[in-house]
Structure formats: structure tokens, C-alpha cells
Structure 1
Amino acid sequence: MKNTIKKIAVMTSGGDAPGMNAAIRAVVRTCAFYQIECVGVYRGYQGLIEGDFITLDARKVSNTINRGGTILKSARSKDFRTKEGRAKAYENLLKESIDAMILIGGDGTFTGGMVFNEEYNFPCIGIPGTIDNDIYGTNFTIGYDTALNTAVEVIDKIRDTASSHNRLFFVEVMGRDAGFIALNAGVGSGAEEILIPEEDLGLDRLLESLKRSKRSGKSSSIVVVAEGDKIGKSVFELANYVEENLPQYEVRVSVLGHMQRGGSPSCFDRVLASRLGVKAVELILDGKTNLMVGIINDKIKTTNLEKAVKGKHSINKELLRVSDIMSI
């Protein structure tokens, strides 16, 4: 490994995700293992512009692997989208004698790192941290497994009420542009229908499916809806449409919202974050840059940041087929 790197910065940016702290911990302790200094950047790119840094060592990240959220905070930064903002960030990095950055976040985070690398040739490595699981170059992103299990647990509870009152529940889960949580949580919780942005089910087919469920003897139903689904303007409008056209159903809506972001990370997310954090530091020490580290078929792989941002992480078509069969 090369010894030109003496100090590495780590930040979390964009939406928080369970397991981000485990990733920070892994980066800090890997730096300590290789006798490299580590600096935390508060509030992502905005903190980079404002010089909001903290020195981190192995003891400062004790008891963080089990904590949700991010100890380094997160924020959106309009200033970093400007050349002036990025120039200030670069100035602060030089002032602190920081040699490279590790960025934990999603496509917006990686886009910022990619632009920064192009302008200043500053070494950047990305770690995918987003509950949406919509990053190309990895089977799983940090936080997805925890969010998925949170959604399934809550839907299970909602089904208790649905079956007790013979109700139809529309349950909206996160997924603005991707239906990974909705599809897997829907299959895992036995939902009668799953609505995702990638597949336009259509109102007519939804109504027919619900009629079929009623005819088959089902007294209650669960429809899991990704927030980015295109059938209705909102899940509430969708629920109203169904209630008007199928008056035999008593319809309710439950929006899970930000509860899916919170909570202690699952074992899977803790292990994934640890593996990716170690590899991110080692890539920098090997002189690599402008890469994202991910996991494919349980092997750690790297992907160019641009490809990670622009590539398409496809929905599992086989799981869609399974969902159709299970909803009979």
C-alpha cells in the first residue's frame, strides 16, 4: 500500500440511513489500523464549505455500530453546487492537510464527489448509503435491509387491524424513484397488490385485482404503494378512487414515512457497512479514486462513480412474478 496518504476525511450526505454510523466507525478504525489520521466532516458538503471538522479516532466511534442516523449529521448543500462553494471546500481541505475523502450517501452525494474530483483531481471514494437501494454497482446499499424490515414489521401490524375490521389498507412506503422497498416488503408481508414506479399496473387492473380478491373470499386486503408510483397523484387520491368504484371496501391509508429511516441497523447492514468502510480506506491507500465500493454476489466490487450515478439498478422481474402468483 502507498504511504503518500496521511489524512482522510469522511462524511455522510443526503438522506440518513441506518448503518451510516457503522460505516463511519469502519473508516475511522481502518485508518487507525493503517496509522492514518481521520477527520469527520459535519453536515456533509455544507460542513466541508464551512470547515466544520472533527478529529476522529478509534475510541471516539465506540458504541456507534448499533446507532441509527449519523453522528456526523447530514444536510443538503446548495452552495456546493456552485464553483465558489467547491473552491471554498477545497481550500478548507488543503488548510487541514486532508489528502482524500470518503463519501457515504446516494447518487446526489456521488455526483458532488465526481464533480469535485474532476475540478480538483481530489481523491474521492463513495460508499452507498441509502434506504432506497437504487444505486448501480451494488446488490445492496447500507440502510436498505433495516428499512425493509421496519416496513414489513409495520405492515404486519396493519394487517391485524385490516383483518379485524374487514378493511382495505393502502400502505405507502418510501421509494420516490425506485420500488425495491415496496416490492420486497409487499412480498414479505403477503400484500395483495404492490404498486411501484417501474411497473404501471393501471387503475383498471388494480380494480380487477381487488374484485378478484373479494370473489375469492378475502375479507381484507393490503396494497403496498411506493411513494413514486405513477398510478395516482397521491396514495390518498388512489384510495378515494378505489372507494368510489368499489363501495364494498372500507378503505384506509397509512403512510409509513420517515420511520423507515430510523432505528438501530440490522446485523446485515452493520456487517455490510463494516466491509465497505474497510475497503474504501484501502482503495485510497492503493491510490484509487472516483470509485464507489459495493457488494455483488457477496463479493466487494468497485464501480466508477459516474456509472454508479447514471447506471440503472433494475427491479427483480422474478419477484414480480412471485408477487402475482402469491396474490391469488
Structure 2
Amino acid sequence: MATKVTKIGVLTSGGDSPGMNAAIRAVVRTGIYHGMEVFGVMRGYSGMIDDDIVKMESRSVANIIQRGGTILKCARSKQFLTPEGRQIAYENLKKRGINGLVIIGGDGSFRGAQKFSNEFDIPCIGLPGTIDKDIAGSDFTIGFDTAVNTAVDAIDKIRDTADAHDRLFIVEVMGRDAGYIALHSGIATGAENILIPETKTDIEELIDSLGEKEKRKKLVNLVVVAEGDDFGGGNEVAKIIKERMPTTDTRLCILGHIQRGGSPTCLDRLIASRMGYHAVESLIEGRHNVMVGILNNRMNYIPLDFAVKAKQRISKEWMKIVKILAS
């Protein structure tokens, strides 16, 4: 670990998120500025095993900061979960002299980086790239702001047609294990109810609430549901509401992967650029095996081990706000 880092690899792993290209750009150009050689690893850990690794120059990352997705592609690698797979990956890095890695991804990607770094002599820096904002140690994750703004834009449009027909809309947003997209987009669009994985859904309370609003002639209602809600997501919620409230004109809209795509917002471009710059600086300064986050507008460095184990928590205050504002 005391070896000076002179050649670094950068990869995007797990699910894609808007702003990953901005982070790649920052890593490549900061590394080159400091006289390093920078290599792009295609398709995450799969590319490391398949030896799909390309030398990157400053022009390799020209005109990508505004693009969604990732020029390095994303993949999930079952082979990297095995000691044999990680050994192959290490040999491919070693023959190029790569002695530092920047991994842009979520907790699954960080688990792989932590294990790999513990087994071999290559320090790793993690950048939180996930639309779910479910990683502790950072106020922001790369891609969340874009994803939630995409959801808000779509829900605003849905409200227009809901109002025209006096309909109840169930809108499912992404969030298998975390409800931040549902929470933020629901509050921002005035949703009457928000269902998230972090809280147990009381379907009777939901139906009573919608029934009470119907009696008050509040005929336009929005229920925003995270896909990982414990009741079963948008499909199950819509099914039970249609059964229990047959006279209500109820429609379901699942936003799906539209939330992953699109040009990143200014905020996502800024935090990705800042994190990418500090990832390279961390390798130079000998700050290894950490995740680079931003807390209270200051850089925050937490061990990958903690980043893997800890989860961003939704405070009870947020849920209280939802209840009060939707009444």
C-alpha cells in the first residue's frame, strides 16, 4: 500500500446513473494532470476479468460530461465473486502496471472493491454512483438528482391528466431497497400518499385516507410507490385499491428505467466532477480504500468497509412532513 500510485484504472459497476461520465472525465483528466497513466475498464469487473482495458487520454473523455449512461458500460460479474475470477482480474491489471483503482458504483460495487483490495496490493477509491441515494457518508450520490427530477417531471405530467379526468393515479418509481426517489418526488409533486421500503405499508390506512378524501370531493389523488415497497409495489397497491374502491377511476403508471437515463443535472455534473477529482487526489495522498462523499458541502472520506455496511436512513420527520402536507 506504500507504493506510489502511477497508473490508475477507472470503472463503472452495477447499475448506471446519470453523471457517471462526468466522474470518469474528472478521474481521467486529474490523473493525466498529475502525470499518471489512466486506463478505462470496460463493463465493470467483467472487463477486468476479460482484459477489456483501454488506455485513456484527455481527448478520450471530450464531450461526455453532458451525456447520460457511461462510456465505460456497466455490468454485474458473477465470476468476480470467486477467488479465481479476482485472481485473473489482478493479473490483467498487474501486467499493465495499474496500481490504483477508482470504482464508480453502489454498495455491491464497493463490496467487490473492498474484497479485491484486501486480497491484493491495489488500493481502491469508491465514488457513490447510484440513483437510489442509499449509501451513508454522503449527502449526494451521483445520479440521484437527475433521477428524482425525471420522476418529478413525469409525475407533474400525470397530475395534469389526472386532474382532467378526476382520477386516482398510482405511480411507481424506482427504489428496490430505498425510498428516497419516492419520498423526494412525492413531496415535490404534492402526492397524497408515499409508500417506501423503509416503512411498513398499512393498506387499510391508505384506503381509509383515500376514501376520506373522496368524501371531501378531492377527486384528484396521487400515490407514489417505491418499487420495493413491502406491499408489493405499484401493481399490488393498484390491484387492492381497485378491488376495495371500485367506483374510483384508478390508473397505474410505472416509470421504470426512464429514471436512469437522460442528461445529468447541473448538480450531478458538479458533484461527479468534484468526487472524481478528489478520488485521484486521495490515491496520490495515500488515502486508500475509502469512499469519497460530500457531507455539509465538505469532502468526506469513509472506509469502504463502513460504506458497505451502513445505509442512508430516512428520518421520521420526513414522513411527518408528508402526512401534514397531504392532508
For this structure pair, what is the TM-score category when the shorter chain's length is used for normalisation? over 0.9
Residue deviations 1:99-142 (CA, integer Å, cap 9, x gap):
10000000110000000011113200000000000011111100
1:1-328 correspondence to structure 2 within 5 Å? 4-231=4-231, 233-328=232-327
- Aligned partners of 1:3 and 1:285 also within 8 Å: no
Paired residue secondary structure (2:10): strand
* Cα distance, 1:37 vs structure 2: 0.9
* Cα distance, 1:31 vs structure 2: 0.7
Cα distance in 2, alignment partners of residues 164 and 195 from structure 1: 25
Cα distance in 2, alignment partners of residues 31 and 39 from structure 1: 10
* Cα distance, 1:3 vs structure 2: 8.6
Cα distance in 2, alignment partners of residues 283 and 179 from structure 1: 31
* Cα distance, 1:243 vs structure 2: 1.4
- The code of the aligned residue for 2:253 comes to S
- Aligned partners of 1:125 and 1:291 also within 8 Å: yes
- The code of the aligned residue for 2:296 comes to N
Paired residue secondary structure (1:244): helix
State which drifts further: 121-130 or 213-222.
213-222
Residue deviations 1:19-62 (CA, integer Å, cap 9, x gap):
00000000001011111110000000000001101111211111
- The code of the aligned residue for 1:252 comes to R
Cα distance in 1, alignment partners of residues 259 and 315 from structure 2: 21
* Cα distance, 1:203 vs structure 2: 0.8
Paired residue secondary structure (1:134): coil
Change (3 A) 1:86 1:3: closer
* Cα distance, 1:317 vs structure 2: 2.4
Cα distance in 1, alignment partners of residues 236 and 31 from structure 2: 51
- After superposing on structure 2, the runs of 4+ consecutive aligned residues of structure 1 that deviate more than 4 Å are none
* Cα distance, 1:199 vs structure 2: 1.1
Cα distance in 2, alignment partners of residues 316 and 55 from structure 1: 44
Residue deviations 1:54-104 (CA, integer Å, cap 9, x gap):
111211111110000000001110110011000000000100110100000
Backbone CA RMSD of aligned residues: 1.1
Residue deviations 1:152-192 (CA, integer Å, cap 9, x gap):
00000011111111111110000000000000000001101
State which drifts further: 173-182 or 114-123.
114-123
Paired residue secondary structure (2:217): coil
TM-score between the two structures when normalised by the length of structure 2: 0.98
Identity of aligned residues (%): 53
Cα distance in 1, alignment partners of residues 216 and 131 from structure 2: 35
- Aligned partners of 2:151 and 2:259 also within 8 Å: yes
Cα distance in 2, alignment partners of residues 14 and 159 from structure 1: 33
Cα distance in 2, alignment partners of residues 234 and 327 from structure 1: 20
Cα distance in 2, alignment partners of residues 266 and 234 from structure 1: 27
State which drifts further: 67-76 or 115-124.
115-124
**How many pairs does the alignment contain?**
326
- Aligned partners of 2:226 and 2:233 also within 8 Å: no
Change (3 A) 1:282 1:3: farther
